[in-house]
A and B are shown apart, each in its own frame.
Chain A
Amino acid sequence: MAMNPMEQFEVKPVIFHDPLFSIAGHPIYFTNQALFMIVAVTVATLFLTLTVSKNRLVPSRGQSMAELSYEFVASMINSTMGSDGLKFFPLIFTIFLFVLFNNFLGLIPWTFTATSQIAITFTLASFVIVTMVIVGFMKQGLGFFKLFVPSAPWYLLILLVPIEVISFLTRPVSLSVRLFANMLAGHTLLAVFASFVVLMIGAGGIMYGVALAPFALIVCIYALEMLVAALQAYVFAILTCIYLNEAIHHANH
């Protein structure tokens, strides 16, 4: 009974075994990942709509959490982009909640963590960067290229401009890999220690008691993973804010 800690990241069809349809020759399956992304979005929607009642002056627990998440994102945008960044509020709020709920949902056993897939995180990150570039050219025109030109003597620019270009091009990679790697590593670690517990209990005898050690570690790592889940959602959202800020305001390095 070999347990593969990577098996949990396998994207596979559920319910329907045949592709639903195909786009440009690529078959589209209804996968375990699709199911849990739908669950995450549904839970997020219910959390933000059912808890909120207009007739309540003092909010319920759920409502204050919904309001807290709203004001948290609003203040994050205000502090990084200023008040004119608030027109991006629905976008940032969506990114934050999408990543947050997928991260947290993935921590429940037998679920699938959509954000542990590079395809998901890279698509999200690319979407953020493309949005940034489009908004940047719309707001600043060709002045957006000043992003690559820090204020420095011309002979330093020969060195600095390529560095800025490279750092810009690596943004979607760093943004996506940060989230992907964090989720992947955490869940792999949990699976590895869980397999230790199973193997030790299977061995029986004294190993039965020793199994408590990896089990205790799982509890600790699980707590850490909850922190990571929230933190990575925050990091993804605030980096989106910072990038969009460069698009709507002139870069002043």
Chain B
Amino acid sequence: MSEPAVTHTGTEAQHSAGFPPFKTESFPSQIFWLVVTFVALFVILWRIAGPRIAGVIGARKGKIADDIAQAEKHKADAEAALAAYESALASARAKAHAEADANRKVLEAETEKAKAAADAEAHAAAAKADAEIAAKRAEAATHVTKAAQDAAAEIVNRLIGVTVPPEEAEAAVKAL
């Protein structure tokens, strides 16, 4: 902005002569310093700042690309692990199913067998029991006959005082 007015009052006449940018006497100094500063900036940007920024940007892009590649690798690994886990799970499940089926069949067969054996045993026991009942019944029947003979002989003895021989009693009971 403008200089404080006091400093330029003395040189007012000199300054106000003409439009400042068109005063050619300042041109050599202007162009000289333009060349100096422009070349300095050019060399700095060309040799130092430019390559440095490019290096930083490149390094970051490389790092990001590396990280993405690594992340993708991790993702692929994780997916492979998941697939392996799932296939292992599926095969284990299939195996378990097969084993369970086999076990069930074995058990069913064993159950059948045991049931058949038990049935047979039960039948045998029933038959034996029937036979025993029949025998006991027959035996009881003989015992009843014998008791009747004894009773008949005893009754006769008491009534008439005659001792009946067992053969006679037997014949008499049988004749009834």
Contacts and interface: CB of A to CB of B under 8 A. Distances in A.
A182 interface: no
Nearest to B54: A70
Interface in A1-47: 1, 3-12, 23, 26-29, 31, 33-34, 37-38, 40-41, 44-45
A248 B92 CA distance: 70
Interface stretch (A49-57, A132-140, A144-152, A208-216): A49-57
Nearest to A190: B1
B52 A49 contact: yes
B163 to A, nearest CB: 137
Interface string B42-77: 101110111011111101100100000000000000
Interface residues of A, number: 60
A220 interface: no
A111 B44 CA distance: 24
B157 interface: no
A29 B32 CA distance: 9
A184 B49 contact: no
B61 to A, nearest CB: 11
Contacts of B50: 70, 89-90, 93
A52 B52 contact: yes
Contacts of B57: 67, 70-71
Contacts of B2: 3-5, 7-8, 191, 194
A119 B26 CA distance: 9
Nearest to B20: A9
A67 B27 contact: no
Contact of B56 (A9, A54, A180): A54
Nearest to B19: A6
A57 B49 contact: no
B62 to A, nearest CB: 11
A100 B27 CA distance: 22
Contact of B29 (A3, A11, A190): A11
B21 A194 contact: no
Interface in A171-213: 180, 184, 190-191, 194
A6 B19 CA distance: 7
B60 to A, nearest CB: 6
B96 to A, nearest CB: 50
A23 B53 contact: no
Contact of A91 (B36, B42, B49, B60): B42
A55 to B, nearest CB: 9
A48 B43 CA distance: 13
Given A54-B59, A191-B1, 20 more contacts: A8-B2, A11-B30, A28-B28, A29-B26, A34-B36, A34-B37, A45-B44, A45-B49, A67-B53, A67-B56, A67-B57, A70-B54, A90-B46, A94-B45, A98-B37, A109-B1, A118-B22, A120-B31, A190-B1, A194-B2
16 contacts: A4-B15, A7-B15, A7-B16, A7-B20, A8-B1, A26-B29, A27-B29, A57-B63, A67-B57, A90-B46, A91-B42, A98-B41, A110-B1, A117-B30, A119-B31, A194-B1
Interface of B: 1-3, 5, 8, 15-16, 19-23, 26-38, 40-42, 44-46, 48-50, 52-57, 59-60, 63
